[in-house]
Amino acid sequence: MPIEMIPRRLQPYRSLESRDGIKYIPRRFHYISYAQLVRDCHELARRLPPVRAIAGVPRSGLIPASVLALELNAPMVSLESLCETAEPEIPLPRRGFGRRLQEGMVLVVDDTSASGRQIDYLRKLIRTPVKYAAIYVEDRPTICVDYYHSKVPDFAQFYEWTMFHDVNNRLLLTDLDGVLCDDWHGGNEEEHLEAYHDFLMNVPPRRIPSMPLKGIVTNRLERHRPETEAWLRRHGIQFDKLTMSPHPTFAARDQARDSAARKAAAYQADTSLRLFVESDDEQAQEIARRTGRPVFSVARNGLV
């Protein structure tokens, strides 16, 4: 039987309206951080039967697999080894030390499971007798894994470890500085134009999205569009629309103090959008207040 533990933070979702056995909240995101993932892995580990070895499903499944392996002091094996033979060689847990378990299951771990297509695909490839686990599963009539920590609502999921690497990119707007790259910390831009120009052209990326973004809304001045677009192209960051501050000077922009208002207006104008990602917590709260819609604050690492 799958292990089911509904964390307290998910209790409100159990009473949602059900459609075809699947529960929804329209236009909502559910967010889970790295820290929460680790805590939930520890909880799941305490309820698993004996485990002889663990394999993670690349890429994101390797994270919970590693946490579970450390918590259980179980060795990790590759998926490839499970596909090659029915009896793969199981290493000792830590550099030749420790005790090799002769009994217990080989556990294949992913971070999430929804439709079950990934698990069904692995079942066709893996020759070793294994059990399957996911930390989070969508609340569907059929659960495709043997063990899981908790069910999550079947509306848009937003995980820290997959941020900007899934289809949610088509449902969100994002800030630029402090999200896709570091913020400028060089003081007044007008007084340090050469250094600021170098920043615009050469600041290292902080996050490189794997899929095209719906839009970027930045407080950078419109006059810096060429440098900004050149930087985005150089790092392979694709987007539908780049919205910049219309003010002619830095002083005019700073005096207007309308960054959050402009971001909220862009967010509100497109009803297909479900999330705004903002670097500054105060602006995140203001955008949420103005729109009544979900906003992710990078500063607090959570939704506001």
Among 160, 116, 121, 120, which residue's Cα sits nearest to residue 138? 116
Q: What is the pLDDT of residues 79-110, one digit of tens each?
A: 999 998 888 888 776 655 555 556 789 999 99
Residue segments in the chain with a per-residue pLDDT below the cut of 50: 1-26
pLDDT of residue 62: 96
The answer to whether residues 242 and 229 touch, using CB atoms and an 8 Å cutoff, is yes
**Model confidence pLDDT, tens digit, residues 267-300:** 999 998 989 999 999 999 999 999 999 999 999 9
pLDDT of residue 13: 33
What order do you get walking across the sheet with 242-245 strand by strand?
A: 242-245, 215-221, 172-174, 275-278, 295-297, 302-303
Amino acid at 276: F
Q: What is the pLDDT of residue 85?
A: 82
pLDDT at 247: 96
Q: Please report the pLDDT score of residue 60 as a whole number.
A: 92
DSSP state letters, 62-125: HHHHHHHHHHHT--B--HHHHHH-SSPPPPPSBTTBS---SSSEEEEEEEEESSSHHHHHHHHH
pLDDT of residue 19: 34
Q: How far apart are CA 250 and CA 257, in angstroms?
A: 11
What's the pLDDT score for residue 95?
Answer: 56
Collapsing DSSP to helix, strand or coil, 294 comes out as coil
Rounded CA-CA distance 139/114 in Å is 8
Rounded CA separation 49/47 (Å): 7
